[in-house]
Amino acid sequence: MVSSEAAPLAKTGGLADVVGSLPSALRALGDEAAVVIPRYTSIDLKNARRVYDRLAIHFGPAQHDISIYQAPAEFPLYLVDCPALFERKGFYGELGVDYPDNHIRFAVLARAALAVARFLFRTEVFHCHDWQSGLVPAYLRTTFASDPTFLGVKTLFTIHNLGYQGLFPKTALAEVGLDAGVYRPDGMEFFGRISYIKGGIEFADALSTVSPTYAREIQTPECGFGLDGALLARADVLTGILNGADYREWNPESDPLIPARYSAGDLVGKQTCKRQLLEEFGLPPDAIQGPLIGMVSRFTRQKGADILAEVAGDIVAEGMRLVALGTGDPEYEDFFLRMAAEYPGSIAVRIGFDNALAHRIEAGADLFLMPSRYEPCGLNQMYSLRYGTVPVVRATGGLDDTIQGDTGFKFAEYSGEALLGAVRCAAQAFSDQEAWCAMMRRGMAKDFSWRASAVRYSGLYRELVAGAAVNPLVEKIF
């Protein structure tokens, strides 16, 4: 697997959780899986061992010297060490601005992954995740097309979020050693630029995304971000496989990060978690009586921050409280902070990433709000179900696939009014505590563990190795 993130070493979102959990689930099925990610500044090499040194990657006259480390994990986890490219404050940029050499940084990741497969972990399938790994299939079909090392090797490209595409000027092709022939509509050209995610879409042997509904949505103009035509052309090799939840980490019966453990059979501990969460966020003790809404999210328009802004005052007027944790676009971070300032005692916000606090919010809230404009899969609604925290979600992508009417509340129209209507329905349901506890228990009984998803991936890998067809559009290019 080739990825820019893998939990717990490098994480900004759900991609890291997937890449950090799926390999272990595959190994439980008898598949051998390894992962390749960059070695960012935040990753300590103290317990890692260097397994390949002074590996030179050439893009024309430019040379990038890397080393490969193996980090301690349940599976081979390889770190691409190139301080000039990856030892920076951020993974992708700083202060909302992407690093200008991201095209080179993630081209080096792709070439390093090929080197790992050549020297350290001979593979039958490259499973590439999101735009940062989109050059792996492109290199295999061009630069390395006749390399005997990769004869018969297949590629699966998984789209976690089509909204992030890795767009660069056409001049980037020469800077990363790619054949100019890929610059065409059925290659990597995208409205006058090149797109790394389109490299994955056009060149991989098979495509997948992280929920069945999202697989359908991205083939439409509304959710296709300009790539719906390319995805429609490859619909016959596109699969939607729902992400799984890692219940080893997210389980209220064993979670070491929450103040009291509880289960569907004994919910007493959840009230303790709620009481302490209110205290931690500085909300009044009498808030224990009403519904407490939790959010752990990126603060972006994709996640519904704009429609929440429309109705925050109405939610407070209904007697509900809200606690939120996240980072994101400065304008939406400012919005959440203004909400907290305008409604003290009702809304409290923390800006930042805090895994332990995320666990405490899942355990202490009554409702979990995910009003996403689009949501490829989503994991927090799965965690919420297991913690007896009833989700309120927009019916899109994986949210629609995982939340049913007997386990949560959904709204279809992307508007503040529709969001408010769903929250009001949830608040009304909360007033009948016997029925509410029954809903909590139904959610806690749901099983979205990784095993079912791993079985699907394992089957897809085997189909590929047995003889997946080469995309005929690619054969036209070369």
CB 31, CB 19: distance < 8 Å? no
CB 194, CB 168: distance < 8 Å? yes
The pLDDT tens digits of the residues spanning 162-190 come to 999 999 999 999 999 999 999 999 999 99
**Which residues make Cβ contacts (< 8 Å) with residue 475, sequence separation at least 6?**
none
pLDDT at 439: 98
Is this structure's pTM higher than 0.85? Answer: yes
Could you identify the residue written with the tokens 């931690």?
A: 280
Which domains does the chain possess? 14-244+452-477 (3.40.50.2000), 268-447 (3.40.50.2000)
pLDDT at 475: 34
The per-residue pLDDT of the chain, averaged, comes to 95
pLDDT at 360: 98
pLDDT at 21: 93
pLDDT at 52: 97
Average pLDDT, integer, range 252-266: 98
CB 38, CB 10: distance < 8 Å? yes
SS (H, E, C) the chain: CECCCECCCECCCHHHHHHHHHHHHHHHCCCCCCEEEECCCCCCCCCCEEEEEEEEEEECCEEEEEEEEEECCCCCEEEEECHHHHCCCCCCEECCEECCCHHHHHHHHHHHHHHHHHHCCCCCEEEEECHHHCHHHHHHHCCCCCCHHHCCCEEEEEECCCCCCCEECCCHHHHCCCCHHHCCCCCCEECCEEEHHHHHHHHCCEEEECCHHHHHHCCCCCCCCCCHHHHHHCHHHEEECCCCECCCCCCCCCCCCCCCCCECCECHHHHHHHHHHHHHCCCCHHHHHCCEEEEEEEECCCCCHHHHHHHHHHHHHCCCEEEEEEEECHHHHHHHHHHHHHCCCCEEEEECCCHHHHHHHHHHCCEEEECCCCCCCCCHHHHHHHCCCEEEEECCHHHHHHCCCCCCEEECCCCHHHHHHHHHHHHHHHCCHHHHHHHHHHHHCCCCEHHHHHHHHHHHHHHHHHHCCCCHHHHHHC
The pLDDT tens digits of the residues spanning 337-392 come to 999 999 999 999 999 989 999 999 999 999 999 999 999 999 999 999 999 999 99
**Which amino acid, 360?**
R
Average pLDDT, integer, range 185-212: 97
The pLDDT tens digits of the residues spanning 25-61 come to 999 999 999 999 999 999 999 999 999 999 999 999 9
CB 454, CB 244: distance < 8 Å? yes
CB 59, CB 175: distance < 8 Å? yes
The pLDDT tens digits of the residues spanning 214-233 come to 999 999 999 999 999 999 99
The pLDDT tens digits of the residues spanning 396-430 come to 999 999 999 999 999 999 999 999 999 999 999 99
pLDDT at 469: 45
Q: Is the pLDDT of residue 478 over 60?
A: no
474 — pLDDT class (breaks 50, 70, 90): very low
pLDDT at 262: 98
Please choose, from the candidates 346, 401, 396, the residue with its C-alpha nearest in 3D space to the C-alpha of residue 371: 396
Q: Is the dihedral of CA 85, 90, 94, 97 positive or negative?
A: positive
pLDDT at 472: 35
**462/87 Cα distance (integer angstroms):** 37
